[in-house]
Amino acid sequence: MRLNLPIKASLLLLPIMVCACTKSSQDLLTGLWQNEESPSHAIRFDKSGALDMDVRPARLKREHSGAAVNWAVEDPSHLKLTISVMGASQSHDVEYRLIGDGELTLTLPGESQSTKFKRADPTAFDQLPPDPPKGWTYRTEGDKLRGTTDRWATAKSGEVADGSTTGLVLRERAEDGFQLMFTSADNLYFDCTSRLMGCEATLKFDDEAPRPYHFTPPQGSLPDSVFLSSSSKLAVLERLRHSHRLLVEFNILNQGRAQYEFATSGLEWK
Whole-angstrom Cα distance, residue 21 to residue 61?
40
**Cβ 104 vs Cβ 118: under 8 Å:** yes
For residue 92, CA distances in Å to 41, 111, 254 come to: 21, 12, 30
Q: Please write the tens of the pLDDT for every residue from 217-263.
A: 998 777 899 999 999 999 999 999 999 999 999 999 888 999 999 99
Domains of the chain (ranges, CATH numbers) = 22-125 (2.40.128), 134-263 (2.60.40)
Q: Which residues of the chain have pLDDT under 70?
A: 1-23, 61-66, 86, 109-110, 186
What pLDDT was estimated at residue 227? Answer: 96
Residue pair 113/107 in contact by the 8 Å Cβ criterion = yes
Instruction: State residue 87's pLDDT score.
Output: 76
pTM, entire model: 0.67
In this predicted structure, what is the pLDDT of residue 26?
A: 85
| Contact by Cβ (8 Å): 85, 66 | yes
